[in-house]
């Protein structure tokens, strides 16, 4: 029986705890002790356990976590998460300013907003009617992983907004990071426990957000600053005003920003934080400069990779010198050769650096490396070590110049380098051990065939034992259990788990199988698009480069790579063997349901809030019927799919271009 007083108490506790979280994490002004807060939270948890029918995903109790996820699903970004172009000098900032003024008109008044560039993990939060709907990682910029269960545990991210003047449907983006004080405390605790230390705050934050148990994430002291609002009609005419409004809704907006009128004020902000950044409780690697006006941002638009209305000024990285001990060469699964400098260990930006990538032969030649050189090492973005030069005064006169290798360090095959490519490759695709092991690892990985028992160490062990030389050999392992049981660490139960995982992988959908094949340049997103256009492996094999180019996001390089892959006899043999093993090489009936091809070569822009379907569902319907999706209206747009509260700018532009504006019902009739 429901006690009405208990229901009222649940609602009261939720409201009170939301208020205390806001005061503590946003205003840093707590009014009760931690003990009192914990007592209120405990009371709420007990009542919610007693009355599960009153569960609410926006309750402050979700902060404690507890949900275990098997894997994070991939979700398309409503607005692409683009990267920023970088500037390393004031001269480059002046060039950026000139480009902005050229597009907007030299007489246009332009204000810039300066913000810190946080060295954390970018996230995108989607709010509907004031409630956190979902949160995504950047991913590839087009799609990201849904890590909502973990983001809800971060106390500086509001689950329910304050006030009522926020847009009904919007996205806000920011950076999740470890405060340095908390990061160093965690490392001290790990040191005391005899555990390996965390290398740096950024990697630690990224690893935490990918934990499958949200209760573990809840125990980590992550924080989050939000810095950009995205919706069809922003409430205010300035980015700074929108961020100020977002703070009143309960978001943690960093105070380290400034509205600047001209590059002189921008330069002043950059210089101010050149030293101040060393005293901050988090790592930054530069300053982000944005055009303040959303209207001007829309006019400036974006390139395929970056917005034209923003740029990141990068501070010069910390530099140290150390001895070059040797150069070794790594072979990747695609045969790419990566030279690596092995260094005398040296402290750099808080970590011990022992190795640095040399990228390619041109880089070695450019630096002019000799054996035993004293080299200068920096961290690109204060994360990745790189050699930037040589101390010529310290060089031994008889030192030999380091020459890039001509043959593969693993199989001794002569290396090849295609015209216009900076990378050398080992062409011995089916005979070079690292390539073979890399193919098998990729094939069995979590995002491909998801065979849990076939991780790096197992693949290495089975390869050395002669059990695996090709991904197709995986499906012969159930017939070789006697040989597996002879190997170290293998018992009857672990073999049964392996066989079960292999059998389950036969249910993996066609688009993931395509990704698993390891075709160069064909990632997870491209594989999905190919599967929707070519419904079976036979149709893909028969496709011409011209037909491949019709698929969204496929250019000449990818089209040629796919064609080359299926022109090789060994690859065709691999596909045939996998077919005989029962691997899916055609799109499933449920994926094909409703696929008509009626929207082939049609480009849609989706704007507004819809009644019958979410934007994600509408996007999927368009793609499943052969259509393309664009984020902005242009002459190449065929339809503007308009919902409620659609931005007037898109509607006006569509009208000027004479484009067809359709409703949700009209769209559903087209594909019915």
User: So which residues are the catalytic ones?
Assistant: 117
Q: Locate tokens 């019902």: which residue?
A: 665
CA distance 213 to 65: 8
CA distance 310 to 292: 9
Strands across the sheet with 86-87, in order?
A: 86-87, 310-314, 284-291, 112-118, 257-260
Contact criterion met (CB below 8 Å) for 291 and 100: yes
- In SS3 terms, 489-531 reads as CCCHHHHHHHHHHHHHHHHCCHHHHHHHCCCCCCCHHHHHHHH
Structure tokens at 385: 């070590």
Q: What is the dihedral of CA 250, 254, 260, 264, to 10 degrees?
A: 180
Secondary structure of residue 359 in the 3-state scheme: coil
Half-sphere exposure of 457 (CA within 13 A, CB side): 5
- In SS3 terms, 41-64 reads as HHHHHHHHHHCHHHCCCCCHHHHH
Q: Please, is 493 exposed, middle or buried when counting C-beta atoms within 10 Å of its C-beta (0-12, 13-18, 19+)?
A: exposed
Count of Cβ atoms closer than 10 Å to residue 14 Cβ: 21
CA distance 386 to 379: 6
The crossing angle, in degrees rounded to 10, of helices 524-533 and 615-624 is 50
Instruction: Give the CA distances from residue 598 to residues 342, 358, 610, 626, 627, in Å, rounded to whole numbers and listed in that order.
Output: 57, 50, 22, 7, 8
Sign of CA dihedral 429, 435, 440, 442: negative
Instruction: Give the CA distances from residue 95 to residues 32, 89, 100, in Å, rounded to whole numbers and listed in that order.
Output: 52, 10, 9
N-terminal to C-terminal alpha carbon distance within the chain: 47
Half-sphere exposure of 551 (CA within 13 A, CB side): 26
CA distance 380 to 314: 10
Count of Cβ atoms closer than 10 Å to residue 199 Cβ: 14
Closest residue by Cα to residue 537 from 560, 520, 565, 514:
514
The crossing angle, in degrees rounded to 10, of helices 433-444 and 456-464 is 130
- In SS3 terms, 288-357 reads as EEEECCHHHHHHHCECCCCECCEEEEECCCCEEEEEEEEEEEEECCCCEEEEEEEEEEEEECCEEEEEEE
Closest residue by Cα to residue 88 from 378, 291, 523:
378
Enumerate the H helices of 86-238 as residue ranges. Answer: 90-104, 148-151, 180-192, 201-209, 214-218
Sign of CA dihedral 604, 302, 73, 435: positive
Structure tokens at 176: 């999740």
Cα of 97 vs its chain's centroid, Å: 29
CA distance 609 to 408: 56
CA distance 263 to 114: 10
């Amino acid at each position: 029986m429901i006690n009405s007083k208990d229901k009222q108490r649940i609602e009261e506790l939720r409201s009170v705890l939301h208020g205390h979280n806001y005061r503590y994490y946003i205003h840093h002004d707590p009014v009760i002790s931690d003990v009192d807060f914990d007592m209120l939270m405990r009371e709420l948890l007990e009542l919610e356990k007693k009355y599960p029918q009153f569960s609410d995903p926006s309750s402050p109790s979700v902060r404690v976590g507890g949900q275990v996820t098997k894997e994070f699903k991939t979700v398309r970004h409503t607005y692409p998460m683009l990267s920023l172009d970088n500037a390393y000098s004031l001269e480059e900032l002046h060039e950026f300013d000139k480009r902005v003024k050229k597009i907007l008109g030299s007489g246009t008044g332009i204000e810039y907003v300066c913000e810190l560039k946080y060295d954390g993990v970018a996230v995108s939060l989607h709010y509907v009617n004031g409630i956190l709907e979902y949160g995504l990682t950047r991913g590839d910029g087009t799609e990201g992983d849904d890590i909502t269960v973990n983001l809800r545990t971060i106390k500086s991210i509001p689950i329910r907004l304050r006030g009522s003047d926020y847009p009904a449907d919007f996205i806000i983006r920011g950076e999740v990071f470890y405060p340095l004080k908390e990061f160093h405390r965690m490392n001290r605790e790990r040191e005391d426990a005899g555990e390996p230390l965390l290398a740096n705050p950024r990697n630690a934050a990224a690893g935490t957000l990918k934990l499958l148990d949200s209760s573990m994430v809840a125990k980590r002291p992550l924080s989050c600053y939000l810095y950009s609002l995205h919706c069809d009609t922003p409430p205010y005419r300035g980015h700074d005003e929108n961020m100020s409004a977002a703070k009143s809704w309960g978001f943690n907006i960093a105070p380290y920003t400034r509205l600047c009128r001209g590059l002189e004020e921008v330069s002043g902000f950059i210089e101010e934080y050149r030293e101040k950044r060393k005293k901050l409780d988090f790592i930054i690697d530069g300053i982000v400069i944005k055009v303040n006006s959303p209207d001007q941002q829309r006019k400036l638009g974006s390139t395929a990779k970056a917005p034209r209305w923003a740029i990141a000024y990068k501070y010069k990285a910390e530099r140290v010198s150390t001895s070059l001990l040797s150069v070794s060469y790594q072979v990747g699964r695609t045969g790419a050769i990566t030279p690596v400098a092995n260094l005398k260990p040296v402290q750099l930006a808080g970590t011990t650096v022992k190795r640095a990538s040399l990228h390619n032969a041109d880089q070695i030649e450019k630096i002019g490396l000799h054996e035993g050189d004293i080299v200068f090492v920096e961290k690109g973005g204060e994360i990745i070590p790189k050699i930037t030069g040589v101390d010529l005064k310290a060089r031994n006169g008889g030192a030999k110049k380091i020459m890039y290798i001509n043959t593969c360090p693993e199989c001794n095959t002569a290396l090849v380098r295609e015209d216009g490519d900076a990378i050398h490759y080992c062409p011995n695709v089916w005979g070079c051990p690292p390539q073979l092991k890399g193919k098998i690892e990729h094939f069995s990985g979590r995002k491909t065939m998801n065979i849990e028992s076939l991780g790096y160490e197992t693949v290495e062990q089975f390869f050395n034992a002669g059990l695996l030389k090709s991904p197709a050999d995986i499906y012969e392992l159930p017939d070789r259990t006697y040989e597996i049981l002879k190997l170290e660490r293998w018992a009857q139960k672990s073999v049964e788990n392996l066989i079960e995982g292999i059998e389950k992988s036969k249910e993996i959908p066609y688009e993931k199988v395509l990704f698993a094949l390891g075709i160069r340049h064909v990632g997870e997103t491209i594989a999905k698009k190919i599967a929707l256009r070519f419904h079976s492996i036979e149709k893909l094999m028969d496709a011409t480069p011209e037909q491949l180019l019709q698929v969204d996001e496929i250019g000449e390089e990818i089209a040629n790579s796919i064609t080359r892959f299926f022109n090789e006899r060994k690859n065709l043999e691999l596909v045939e063997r996998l077919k005989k093993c029962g691997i899916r090489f055609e799109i499933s009936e449920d994926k094909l349901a409703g696929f008509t091809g009626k929207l082939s070569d049609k480009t849609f822009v989706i704007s507004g809030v819809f009644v019958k379907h979410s934007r994600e569902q509408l996007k999927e319907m368009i793609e499943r019927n052969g259509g393309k999706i664009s984020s902005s209206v242009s002459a190449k747009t065929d339809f503007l799919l308009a919902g409620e509260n659609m931005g007037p700018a898109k509607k006006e532009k569509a009208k000027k271009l004479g484009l067809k504006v359709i409703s949700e019902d009209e769209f559903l009739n087209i594909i019915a």
